[in-house]
Amino acid sequence: MAKIKGDIVINTERCKGCEVCLAACPFTVIAMSKEVNSKGYHFAMKVNGECTGCTNCALVCPDGVITVYRAKVTTE
Amino acid sequence: MIMEDTFAKTEIHKPENIVYKKTDLMVDRPLSYCPGCGHGTAHRMLMEVIEEMNIQDKTIGVSPVGCSVLAYDFLNIDMLGAAHGRAPALATAIKRMWPNHFVFTYQGDGDLAAIGTAETIHACNRGENITIIFINNGIYGMTGGQMAPTTLPGMRSSTSPYGRDVATMGHPLKITELVAHLPGVYYVTRQAVHTPNHVRKTKKALRKAFELQKENKGLSFIEIVSNCNSGWKMTPVQSNKWMEDNMFPFYQLGDIKVDGKLVEKKEIAGKE
Ligand SMILES: Cc1ncc(C[n+]2csc(CCOP(=O)(O)OP(=O)(O)O)c2C)c(N)n1
Ligand code: SF4
Ligand code: SF4
């Protein structure tokens, strides 16, 4: 069966930890890291596989650090 | 991180599967804005529109004094920096010398509605064929959160620590509604950039403004109500909520003037 699957890649070094993307994701794909990046910010990270590639998080990220992928995948 | 394998299997990370990535018209360097500040999103939407219209080489922007003074470091197009509040005057000169170029100003509320009030109103009244992008965060962000003409009644700032008292400090200025009444102004709208849908609408409004500029229709004025979490002394997420609860009832979102005609009051009136 063909299914739409999404994924995000976050440039964690450029993330400022504002958490605006968290609220924008309808599937709670994003959470904040315990670690910090070199600027000292807790960064956003993907925590589950529910992403549909809706682009909501990337649209609201003020620093534009999220890249979104979407593809049709076939599952058994 | 357990998920990583499943994703790799789908081989989703291919260039042809990219559905969103920061436009190359944003210079690849960290923005100087505070975490969560709407300036970054507004910049990016503006650059996406310029990219989609393929007018990068024909667009000249004017940056203000305020946090976004550094916009020329981030927007990969020709830019000039204006003296505080003078961006519409400078944009007037640029547009008249280069009428086939797209010219916009990008200004905060301190810049546009305080020190630059005269330039704003007269450029609008002359109907200069430019686009004014007005970021209203109700405060002077760059200098430490002082009261602006746009500060809400009762709103605390570093120069109104007990809240803006309209009896002594005057009423907030809705400069956007004010300029909408001037005949030279063709399109006026008020948008936001804190949620995905608001971002999409802002982008549409920006696109419309640049298309109108191409048709020499007159001045387009796009207000973006935005947060200044640092100046408001809140987290970014709190500030966006506060903005919805407090800024939006006063600065109602939506079109104010379309095709040179004021939008019927009942359509933009809400809870005030
Ligand atoms: C002639 C002059 N007067 C005052 C200042 C100080 N000043 C710098 S930015 C600013 C206000 C900026 O506020 P706003 O336009 O709302 O932009 P924001 O920083 O909130 O984005 C002021 C008063 C200045 N730089 N030049
Ligand atoms: S919106 Fe962007 S900068 Fe803010 S936490 Fe998410 S990825 Fe980081
Ligand atoms: S001070 Fe306010 S307007 Fe300036 S970058 Fe920070 S949050 Fe944005």
B78: Cβ contacts below 8 Å, ≥ 6 apart: B59, B60, B61
CATH of the domain at B85: 3.40.50.970
Q: Is residue B8 one of the residues assigned to a domain?
A: no
Q: Is residue B271 one of the residues assigned to a domain?
A: no
SS3 call for B214: helix
Among B56-65, B128-137, B262-271, the minimum mean pLDDT is found in: B262-271
Determine the distance from the C-alpha atom of residue B259 to the mean position of all C-alpha atoms in its chain, rounded to a whole number: 20
Count up the domains in chain B and report the number: 1
Nearest ligand, CA of residue B84? 1
Q: Is residue B252 one of the residues assigned to a domain?
A: yes
CA geometry: angle at B187 spanning B185 and B265, to 5°?
A: 100
DSSP string, chain A: -EEEEEEEEE-TTT-----HHHHH-TT--EEEEEEE-TTS-EEEEE-SS------HHHHH-TT--EEEEEEEEE--
Q: Is residue B9 one of the residues assigned to a domain?
A: no
Q: Bridge partners of A32?
A: A44
- Ligand 1 center from residue B238 Cα (angstroms): 24
What average pLDDT does chain B have?
95
Model confidence at B269: pLDDT above 70? no
Q: Is residue B120 one of the residues assigned to a domain?
A: yes
B70 ligand 3 Cβ < 6 A: no
pLDDT value of position B2: 44
Model confidence at B246: pLDDT above 80? yes
Q: What is the pTM for the complete model shown?
A: 0.95
Query: Which position has the higher pLDDT, B9 or A76?
Result: A76
Contact B220, B186 (CB under 8 A): yes
User: Model confidence over B34-64: pLDDT tens digits?
Assistant: 999 999 999 999 999 999 999 999 999 999 9
Q: For residue B94, what are its two tokens?
A: 């640029």
Residue A64 and residue B268: Cα distance in Å, rounded? Answer: 31
Q: Is residue B116 one of the residues assigned to a domain?
A: yes
Q: For residue B39, what are its two tokens?
A: 């300036």
- Chain A partners within 8 Å of B196 (Cβ): 24, 54-56, 59-60
pLDDT value of position B265: 73
Structure-token match 């939506």, residue found? B254
pLDDT value of position A73: 85
Domains of chain A: 2-74 (3.30.70.20)
Do B196 and A55 lie within an 8 Å CB cutoff? yes
Average pLDDT over residues B216-234: 98
Model confidence at B5: pLDDT above 60? no
The residue contributing the CA closest to ligand 3 atom 2 is B228
B78-81 sheet: strands from edge to edge: B78-81, B59-63, B102-108, B131-136, B219-225, B185-192, B254-258, B261-262
Residue B194 and residue A61: Cα distance in Å, rounded? Answer: 9
Do A20 and B37 lie within an 8 Å CB cutoff? no
Residue B142 and residue B69: Cα distance in Å, rounded? Answer: 9
Residue B205 and residue B201: Cα distance in Å, rounded? Answer: 6
Q: Is residue B17 one of the residues assigned to a domain?
A: no
Average pLDDT over residues B243-259: 98
What are the start-end ranges of the H helices in chain B?
4-10, 38-52, 71-74, 87-97, 109-110, 117-126, 166-169, 175-180, 196-214, 229-232, 236-242, 248-250, 265-268
User: Model confidence over A3-35: pLDDT tens digits?
Assistant: 899 999 999 999 999 999 999 999 999 999 999
User: Model confidence over B141-198: pLDDT tens digits?
Assistant: 999 999 999 999 999 999 999 999 999 999 999 999 999 999 999 999 999 999 999 9
Residues spanned by the domain of B96? 32-260
